[in-house]
Structure 1
Amino acid sequence: MSQLSETPERGRGRLGAVLVSPTLVLLAAVIGYPIVAALVTSFRGDPSLRNGFFTHGGEFAGLSNYLHWLTQRCGDTTCPPGTLGGHFWGSVLVTLFFTAVTVSLEVAIGVLMAIVMNQSFLGRGFLRAVVLVPWAIPTAVTAKLWFFMFAYDGVINRSLGTHILWTDGAWPARFAVVIADVWKTTPFVALLVLAGMAGIPDDLYEAARIDGAGPFQRFVRITLPLVRPALLVAVVFRVLDVLRIYDLPAILTHGGGGDGHATTTLSILTVQQLQQGYGGASAISTLTFVLIFAVALTLVRVFRVNLVQSEQHGVS
């Protein structure tokens, strides 16, 4: 009898494995092979050219590509004077700066936008549709749009009455990228938070009003805890997106500004290195992958604890 009872379970297990196998094979081909190929290439030297032909290079180089980037310092012949930590570490700091600043602003502004769009007023549907327009515009179009707006005689300088070289100065170029990215992707955060607010019963707010809770108390004690899962999902997605940002700073400032590397992110540095050789570029892409994987793993673990705690304690 025990064998007969186990047969359906085994049959379902085999059926599940068969149904999932095509997806696993596709993921292995699309994701697994490029990762392995890049990792193998990162341990090889870059071929050199002589008389228009590759003469030597491409052999096993060990950790030389990684040591080249990880030990690069300011003042080296390959490092522009004044650049913090060389090309690689400077790009790491620029990428982390964009991640911290843009995600913080997008979360703060996105929550405020969601609160406004969650209210009942005439034209609410039209406002929700208009707010999503920046997010629907392709990033390349957004970058070119803000490039003209940040021009020396563009609408930004004319409106502010300033003469700032937004795409040439180091910090103006960084702030230009931040402003453009916040303008484009804040609606994404607002949309996720708004979806979380839509599931909050009105009875909770009504009970809080009867108990004398003000708007700020209702937001802190009811809205914020209940939308926390949606908000954490938005934060994770946005952090991972900004860590691999490429097209916006590449088109808006060409990865330059100031010393020529003020807005060079890790993805931009990888593409630039491809012109020199695949070995060094593969090493940078592998280091970028390790950084993004570590950040993603940390966020998932931390936020999973918060979600479990919020479900256990409920709304305080």
Structure 2
Amino acid sequence: MSTTTPARPRPSAPGSTPAGERKPGGRTSGEGRMAAMLLSPTLLVLALVIAYPLISAVHQSLFRESSGLDENGFVAQGETFVGLGNYADLFVGETGARFLNALANTTFFTLTTVALETVLGLCLALAMNRAFRGRAFLRASILIPWAIPTAVSGLLWRWIFQSDGIANNLIGSEILWTAEGFQAKAAVIIAEVWKTAPFIGLLVLAGMQIIPEEVYEAARIDGAGWWRQLGSITLPLVKPTLLVAVLFRLLDALRMFDLPFVLIGPGKRSVETLSMLAWDESNQLRYGSASAFAVILFLYVALVAIVFVKLLGADVAGTKEVRALRKVGRARKAKAV
């Protein structure tokens, strides 16, 4: 009687993955290739609309428009390579004074408007989350300012802040809101908060909608009042959504251009932002310095985003949820084994 010896499995090459076996990341090589193919159009579009303009701006910021006489005595115009000369000019002379003023205005508008919008947006979300008759009408009316285009909103508030406008009639005084001074800053802040506070309110409301009602019922049974529920349940559970909303508003406010441009006008030192300064330089055909302003603004926005995400833990890409799901999946596989 003959016996057969089972064949031993052939050893695989070092570093190779057997067919049908998943890699440590949880996906096969075929899935990785398919994911790369599906993402390639998006990455190509991002490279065309983000990477190429950024590289072009950095390249342009290294040159400066110059004019003079050539060897034949004729006027010659062109670009001269100056290296970091445009960046060095940001801190000296008249250009440096305008840059520091624009940087201060941008930071002031960002901090002030985002802080007010966060408080007001949270209040709007709490109001829209309550169950009462006419709640749908309240939600629609709150979202109207955010739906209005910024240029139209600027013209609307410019009409309100005229010398004989509604604002001066209500306060019984004649303030030149659209002239130089702190009143111009106040006008921009009021218009910006009125327009974009509903955006934060809408995102916070979406976060409140996913909080289970059973949590509030258990808190009421334990004797917790409205303020205790707000501080112990609503705010902690809505914090991730609120942080993402604040981050989006920070990045948007740092690039503020259209509202002060339409409401107050260009060339006003009290409301000139970095975006307005870059536009003014490009309008004067000084593309090198305009590109330098744009690059500095990009670095400023990127720095704020990185610091905000690292310090406050705003999970913009949803990586925390992905890690939690992977951890749960590994735990289930371990239990099954």
Cα offsets for 1:241-273 (capped at 9, x unmatched)? 0000100000100145xxx31000000000001
Residues 270-289 of structure 1 mapped to structure 2, 5 A cutoff:
270-276=278-284, 277-289=286-298
Q: Which amino acid aligns with 2:190?
A: I
Matched, 1:55 2:69: no
Matched, 1:268 2:276: yes
1:214 alignment partner, one of 202, 225, 228: 225
Cα offsets for 1:127-175 (capped at 9, x unmatched)? 1011100000000000000001000000000011011100113100001
Matched, 1:129 2:140: yes
Residues 195, 306 of structure 1: alpha-carbon distance in 2 compared, 3 angstrom cutoff: closer
| Secondary structure class of the residue paired with 1:58 | strand
Matched, 1:109 2:117: no
Matched, 1:292 2:313: no
1:24 alignment partner, one of 25, 43, 64: 43
Matched, 1:176 2:187: yes
Q: Which amino acid aligns with 2:123?
A: L
Residues 292, 49 of structure 1: alpha-carbon distance in 2 compared, 3 angstrom cutoff: farther
Aligned 8 A contact 2:200 2:242 in 1: yes
Residues 114-263 of structure 1 mapped to structure 2, 5 A cutoff:
114-256=125-267, 260-263=268-271
Superposition misfits of 4+ residues, deviation over 4 angstroms: 305-308
Within 2, Cα distance between the matches of 1:214 and 1:306? 30
Q: Which amino acid aligns with 1:45?
A: R
Within 1, Cα distance between the matches of 2:192 and 2:176? 19
User: Between Structure 1 and Structure 2, whose CA radius of gyration is higher?
Assistant: 2
Residues 147, 48 of structure 1: alpha-carbon distance in 2 compared, 3 angstrom cutoff: farther
Within 2, Cα distance between the matches of 1:23 and 1:244? 24
Q: Which amino acid aligns with 1:48?
A: S
2:313 alignment partner, one of 290, 304, 312: 304
| Secondary structure class of the residue paired with 1:167 | coil
| Secondary structure class of the residue paired with 2:41 | helix
Residues 36-115 of structure 1 mapped to structure 2, 5 A cutoff:
36-48=55-67, 55-69=76-90, 71-72=91-92, 76=93, 78=94, 86-115=97-126
**Pairwise CA distance, 1:304:** 2.0
Aligned 8 A contact 2:145 2:195 in 1: yes
Moved more, 12-21 or 41-50: 41-50
Q: TM-score of the superposition, structure 2-length normalised? A: 0.83
Moved more, 4-13 or 266-275: 4-13
Residues 54, 197 of structure 1: alpha-carbon distance in 2 compared, 3 angstrom cutoff: farther
Aligned 8 A contact 2:308 2:314 in 1: no
Within 1, Cα distance between the matches of 2:195 and 2:113? 11
Q: Which amino acid aligns with 2:88?
A: L
**Pairwise CA distance, 1:10:** 1.6
Aligned 8 A contact 2:243 2:314 in 1: no
Residues 102, 46 of structure 1: alpha-carbon distance in 2 compared, 3 angstrom cutoff: same
**Pairwise CA distance, 1:54:** 7.2
Matched, 1:3 2:18: yes
| Secondary structure class of the residue paired with 1:59 | strand
Cα offsets for 1:95-128 (capped at 9, x unmatched)? 0000000000000011111111111111001110
Within 1, Cα distance between the matches of 2:282 and 2:101? 18
Aligned residues: 295
Within 2, Cα distance between the matches of 1:48 and 1:101? 43
Within 1, Cα distance between the matches of 2:273 and 2:20? 57
**Pairwise CA distance, 1:208:** 1.4
Within 1, Cα distance between the matches of 2:179 and 2:80? 40
Q: Which amino acid aligns with 2:307?
A: T
**Gaps (5+ residues) in structure 2?**
1-11, 325-337
Moved more, 292-301 or 200-209: 200-209
Q: Which amino acid aligns with 1:253?
A: I
Q: Which amino acid aligns with 1:286?
A: V
Aligned 8 A contact 1:255 1:265 in 2: no
